[in-house]
Amino acid sequence: MSFAENDLTAYLQAFCDPEPELLKKIDRETQLEVLMPRMLSGHVQGRVLSMLSKIMAPTRILEIGTFTGYATLCFAEGLQKEGKIITLDINEELEERVRGYFASSDYDSQIDYRIGNAMDIIPTLNEVFDLVFIDADKKNNENYYNLVFDKVRSGGMIITDNVLWSGKVLTKINDKDTANIHTFNERVVADERVDKLILPVRDGLFVVRKK
């Protein structure tokens, strides 16, 4: 059975929780005013991230790749009252916009937004995380995974975005990004330290649970 993609998306949106008003604003303004708006998680994937966070009820989340803050706020919905999300991004040009969105949310005091190179920042973090979201430069997926692994508690989750790469992982297309993503997927599926599952949501979420 095949579906028209737009019709299926509309159906999924109709049968999940509504998108909060601030997230609608972030989506709309990102589409109109920011380069590469496709990087934004969007309604359905955002509700998936929110649901996973609420199930985990984390006290510590690490997000690698903030973009315009949409996914950050989705994850924040599941935080414990004393919880915190550290979110890292290298794009200084978006900082003022993103801080404005966070300030307009109910979670501003729980968000630690840092600008810089995640490869440099992660080793300095003296935290144990319940949940990590990897959504940055794809060539470093495996590096990020390895850097955070020992900082994730047993039973914690690591979620990596864009692991289907618009379906290119199924083809013989051999550009560097596709090759890197496919290699990362192979490494994770061979990792016996975790339970693993790819959810075919939007561009693919690789969800792993540390044993």
Question: Over 70: is that where the pLDDT of 87 sits?
Answer: yes
The phi, psi pair for 112, rounded to 5°, reads -110, 95
- The 10s digit of each residue's pLDDT in 18-36 is 999 999 999 999 999 999 9
Residue 1 has what pLDDT?
46
What confidence tier does 171 reach under pLDDT thresholds 50, 70, 90? confident
What domains sit in the chain, N to C, each tagged with a CATH number?
Answer: 49-210 (3.40.50.150)
Residue 92 tokens, joined: 């200084």
Beta bridge partners of 107: none
Pairing verdict, β 205-210 and 194-199: antiparallel
Whether the per-residue pLDDT at 5 is higher than 90: the answer is no
Token couple for 116: 């810089």
pLDDT tier at 142 (50, 70, 90 boundaries)?
very high
Which H helix or E strand runs over 155? strand 152-161
Radius of gyration of the chain measured on its C-alpha atoms = 16
**Is residue 185 predicted with pLDDT exceeding 80?**
yes
The DSSP call for residue 176 is H
pTM summary value: 0.95
Of 132, 152, 210, 145, the residue nearest 181 (C-alpha)? 145
